[in-house]
Structure 1
């Protein structure tokens, strides 16, 4: 399984717009991209402007397909003028025993 976690900083006045765009990306990706396994939006309790996306894909190719797809593009079209990021926190493949 391929995982990514990224952070975005979003001014308070744009929180609703960012949340709406992120949740829509997650819903559309989960419904229409077979390799999308998890798409979570997390708000930092100590930094009110900080949001995280925690995502899991079947493999790196599924993540690449997501990045090339329409939902990713639509998300970034909305958030680019209002958010700073993404800042990469985690990117890699699960190592299992």
Structure 2
């Protein structure tokens, strides 16, 4: 499995918009793409303007397909107007996973 964690800093008056856009992307990606396994939208416990996307894919090729797809593009077209990021915090393959070989 390929997994990553990214952060975004969102304009305070656009937090709800960011959450809606990220959750819509999660829903559509999980329902319509073959590789996503988990897509979580997480709010930082100390800074209400920071959000994390924790995503898991079958492998890096599945993530690359997602990144080239319409849901990814739509998310960045919208969120790019009011969110800074992504800041890559972690990315890699689960140790011992056959997909990582």
Pairwise CA RMSD: 0.9
Asked if residue 49 in structure 1 is aligned to residue 34 in structure 2, the reply is no
Q: What pairs up with 1:52-91 in 2 under 5 angstroms?
A: 52-91=52-91
Partner of 1:32: 32
Mapped partners of 2:20, 2:78: distance in 1: 10
Q: Which runs of 4+ in 1 moved over 2 A?
A: none
Aligned length: 97
Mapped partners of 2:48, 2:27: distance in 1: 24
Q: Structure 1 unaligned segments of length 5 or more: list them.
A: none
Q: Structure 2 unaligned segments of length 5 or more: list them.
A: none
Mapped partners of 1:39, 1:7: distance in 2: 13
SS in 2 for 1:45: coil
TM-score after normalising by structure 1 = 0.97
SS in 1 for 2:85: strand
Shift of 1:76: 0.3
Q: Deviations over 1:16-67 (max 9, x none)?
A: 1111100000000000111000000000010111000000000000000000
